[in-house]
Amino acid sequence: MSIETIRDISIIVLAVTTIAMQVILVLLLLEIISLSRMLRDNIYPILQSADETARTVRGTSVFVSDNVVSPVVRISSFAAGVSQALRILVRRGQ
């Protein structure tokens, strides 16, 4: 084989390889686009559900705080005050 023949074969192989790589890159780009659409379609409802759950938890914690914790704290502080007042009165009486 002459050098010109080897050169021509090399150019043809390089051209075919370049075309194949470009086709593969286009297919890869199409797959990435498809994946991003799938993720957007599947992740968005999950994020909405998580947001709804967080809002529900926030509402529940506010409800429990207003209706359970605050009255218990008030009663406990009142009882502690009465207890301390009784201790002071008992000590003065002795």
Domain borders along the chain are 1-67
**Mean pLDDT taken over the chain:** 90
CB crowding 13-28: b at 16 or more within 10 Å, else e: eeeeeeeeeeeeeeee
Lookup: tokens for 40 = 């957007």
Rounded percentage of the chain residues whose pLDDT exceeds 70: 98
Query: What is the value of pTM for the model shown?
Result: 0.49
pLDDT category at 1 given cuts 50, 70, 90 is confident
Question: What distance in Å separates the CA atoms of residue 24 and residue 35, rounded to the nearest whole number?
Answer: 16
Q: Please check the confidence at residue 29 and state whether its pLDDT lies above 70.
A: yes
Lookup: tokens for 22 = 């470009």
Question: What distance in Å separates the CA atoms of residue 57 and residue 86, rounded to the nearest whole number?
Answer: 41
pLDDT in tens, 30-72: 999 999 999 889 988 898 999 999 999 999 988 888 888 888 8
